[in-house]
Amino acid sequence: MIAVGQPLQMQEMPVPVIGEKDILVRVRAAGICHSDVHYRAGVSPVRPLPMTLGHEVAGVVEQAGAQATNVKAGEQGGSALYITCGECSYCTTGNEQFCSKVKMLGHYTDGGYAEYIAVPARNAVLLPDEIPFEQGATLMCASATAFPYIAQSRLKAGETAAVFGVGDWAYRPYSLQRLSARWTSMPLTSNENKLKLAAQLWRHPCECETKATRVTRSGVSLEARAADVTLELIGLPQTMRQAVQCLDVMGRVRHCRYRRQAAGDRYVSRAVWERGRIIGSNDHLYSELPMVVELARRKVLDTSRVVTRTISLDAGAINRALE
Ligand SMILES: [Zn+2]
Ligand SMILES: [Zn+2]
């Protein structure tokens, strides 16, 4: 990426030189994420420019630094997308995402739309042979970000989850499969086309149309105490409030989107008085990536239909995909 709002350009770059704690990865696949659309358009600033985008990366370790003891040349894996200092209190307690020096791959440091990338060895996530590189790359972002918001919702067998919003989060492979396979889930949206799409993809399609999930143009009409867990994927004050209003007692609301408008006092008081739990969400931690890989290896998470198209490493092709 050379300039905001401009097509990506192909440029010759030297192969990165690695430090003692780094690895050089020959990239075999890099996912195109919706975030890349935002980066190119300037919705989310990329710096410094020029920058190589691409944060869902899988490949083969070409070279490992002298102090890189966790991986060897020839091993295959993906890279966690947050490059951090590795030394602060957040990094050393497994909460590295909150490191004050965090830099996201393909956003604040050169990413995977390239033949080679250099990353700290501690970012390496080994991929077993049975996961193709293309699918493995998507685990590093698309599935990984959905994993904690389902896992930490503490859904139990027999419980009901209401899902506010049928957008990219709801379709992320992990969330869609987990919600449709194990729980009664109710995708809620006021957009009829998205509702039709949800009915095709969710394993319990009729639930989109049950009384409890009736939708109206003005918003969601959801019966009170309909859900044990609500996954709020929109982030509007109205839907944040509704996500609490439809909870049963002891319910949990999981926020995955947030906008700065206040949700209002009633939102908080209802959750407080009824022993509810408000659970935040912001991406994923390194420690969660091996769990996601293991779920994919065991085919609990089916990644076989995740990749819809593959393109060559070519700026024009990437631009067309972003468009
Ligand atoms: Zn992504
Ligand atoms: Zn740190």
Token readout for 177 is: 């499969």
How many angstroms separate the CA atoms of 52 and 294, rounded? 29
More confident residue, 187 or 40: 40
Asked whether the predicted pLDDT for residue 297 surpasses 70, the reply is yes
Picking from 67, 86, 136, the residue whose alpha carbon sits closest to that of residue 306 is: 136
Distances, alpha carbon 198 to alpha carbons 138, 144, 170, 206, 300, in Å = 21, 21, 9, 10, 20
Poorest-confidence range of 103-117, 196-210, 266-280? 196-210
Q: Which ligand is nearest to the CA of 57?
A: 1
Closest by Cα among 232, 321, 263, 316 to 10? 316
Residue spans in the chain of domains classed CATH 3.40.50.720? 153-279
- For residue 140, how far is its CA from the centre of ligand 1 (angstroms)? 8
- E strands within the chain? 22-31, 56-64, 76-79, 82-83, 103-104, 116-120, 124-126, 160-164, 184-188, 215-216, 219-220, 227-232, 247-255, 277-279
Residue 115 and residue 112: Cα distance in Å, rounded? Answer: 7
Q: Token pair of 236, please?
A: 């509007």
The CA 200 to ligand 1 mean position distance, Å, reads 24
Ligand 2 midpoint to CA 80 (Å): 14
C-alpha 36 – ligand 1 centre gap (Å): 7
62: helix, coil or strand? strand
**Chosen CATH of 153-279 out of 2.102.10.10, 3.20.20.120, 1.10.3720.10, 3.40.50.720:** 3.40.50.720
CATH fold of 22-140+303-322, please?
A: Quinone Oxidoreductase; Chain A, domain 1 (3.90.180)
According to the model, what pLDDT value does residue 170 have?
67
Residue 264's φ and ψ, nearest 5 degrees, are: 105, 155
pLDDT, the chain, mean: 84
pLDDT tens for each residue of 270-294 = 666 667 777 877 789 999 999 999 9
Measure 88 CA to ligand 2 centroid, in angstroms. 4
Residues forming CATH 3.90.180.10 domain(s) in the chain: 22-140+303-322
Q: What angle do CA 47, 52, 54 make, to 5 degrees?
A: 105
- Does this model's pTM top 0.85? My answer is no
